[in-house]
Structure 1
Amino acid sequence: KQNVSEYPNDSNFDENYTYTDFKRGLAGLLPDSLHRNAPLLRKLVLHQYVYTQGDKKNTYLLFEQMRKALLDRDFIAPTQKLVEELKSNKGQVYLFEYGIDNPPKSCLEDGGWEDIEPFCNKMFHYFTRFAVKGQPTKNSCEPTNPTWPAMGTSKRDYHVILKADGTIEWDSNFHLASTQLWNHLLPALDQLELKGRRDAIFKEETQLLPTELEDDEQDWHRRAANIGGFEFSEEDALNDLPFHAEL
């Protein structure tokens, strides 16, 4: 996984970013060398992050969705796993989602304070009260500062979303579609025994060159079926170097 400092941000966006660039990034996100059914997993990620969200010719959509896929895989899904582990150990968990980038740094640095002052005041109030009282809020029905329940103490597992303007929103089912995809569906499908499954030919292979075929159709599988059916092996591929180079 990438270091956080290496993640793309808005300043990295280039209007020439294409669907091929997205697929190249996707091949690094779910490489054949780490996932036995990587082509299938990539197809599902394309479905969730591109096909159901908009036009794949929209370059900024593709850029944003690659960022979201990275966020979901490296932060959202592991956070949900951690929450479940802490809850199983009878720990009190208060899940907090914030509406600005890097809030402690943004709130403590000079510049731009007035724009986010309501957010910062509310966040530091939560942190301070939790450190002193063990709970981020008192029991209250105030609309501006309602009780923030620990997860597992109410009918639904609520978490707080603190927006940039300091307003509060409550939600449950923390990023359900993303956590189910990365924590459950993809790992389960990666364990399936599939006919014609492509193994990484070289152990150091971490990225496929995207083909020109529509929507990540696996040219390797099509060629393999023509040459030797489902019995086409890694040894056959190694002996057919032009075929491997083409891919």
Structure 2
Amino acid sequence: MNKKKIGIHGVPRSGTTWLGEIINSSANVRYKYQPLFSYELKNFLNDNSDLTEINKFFEKLNKISSPFLDQEEAKKKGIIPVFNKNKITHIVYKEVRYHHIVKNLLLKDSEIKIIGIIRNPLAAIYSWLKSPREFRKDLGWSEIEEWRYANKKNSNKPEEFYGFEKWKEVANLFLELENQFPDRFLLINYKDLLKDTYNQVNRLFSFCELDIEQQTTAFLSNSKSIDKNTTYSVYRNKQHDDEWKNKLNYQIIDEIQQELKNTQLEKYLMI
């Protein structure tokens, strides 16, 4: 396939929706939302997929349309924008699941590029716990029982990555991949994307070999000035990722801070 192949990966509540739409704002990108969780392509790839299967996956992404893959409901609600498209040169997908397949993708396909994003675990865990569709308080789920291992949400499925233990697993994986594949794995810190958006977007588009055009700059301006503060909106006019302060259970805060102290992941606690 003569199109660039790019994946976006991050654990749930890490800013992947905003990051994905930033890339999607390019008129040259065909973008698909969580294809491996979709009806059409559920579990299409695994951690042993070969190059033929990987190429077939991207070929399907280039052809298949569906309300889920194309986020039609969110577009109708104005939660995410609708972008104009021209000649498609890049196929891009985003996933909050299936991170266990990323290393295999990079090993098997020398042309694929992956963007990983890491968010402060205190913010990511708090965002998950307050999301009614993702953390089911209505079913009696307990924050203290679930925040670390997320057993009820993950259900022992290898593709699920909720909870602090999975956050650590993915963060360590991403740091390893950044070192092992410096030209094909780009690591984004959500804090930097929030505070230094334009420089980070320049990094992103340079990595993807895309030009930043008016449609992207307009989206960046709107996404940081308009507030549609729903759980899944890409429009958030905030500068600091600190909503968890005074709201997240202190026991959770203390355990996360103590566990990451003096490790390579401690830097992600910085606000």
What interval of TM-score do these two structures reach, taking the shorter chain for normalisation? under 0.3
| Structure in which a larger fraction of residues adopt helix | 1
Give TM-score, length-normalised by structure 2.
0.23
Please tell me whether Structure 1 or Structure 2 has the larger radius of gyration of its CA atoms. 1
| Structure in which a larger fraction of residues adopt strand | 2
Give TM-score, length-normalised by structure 1.
0.25
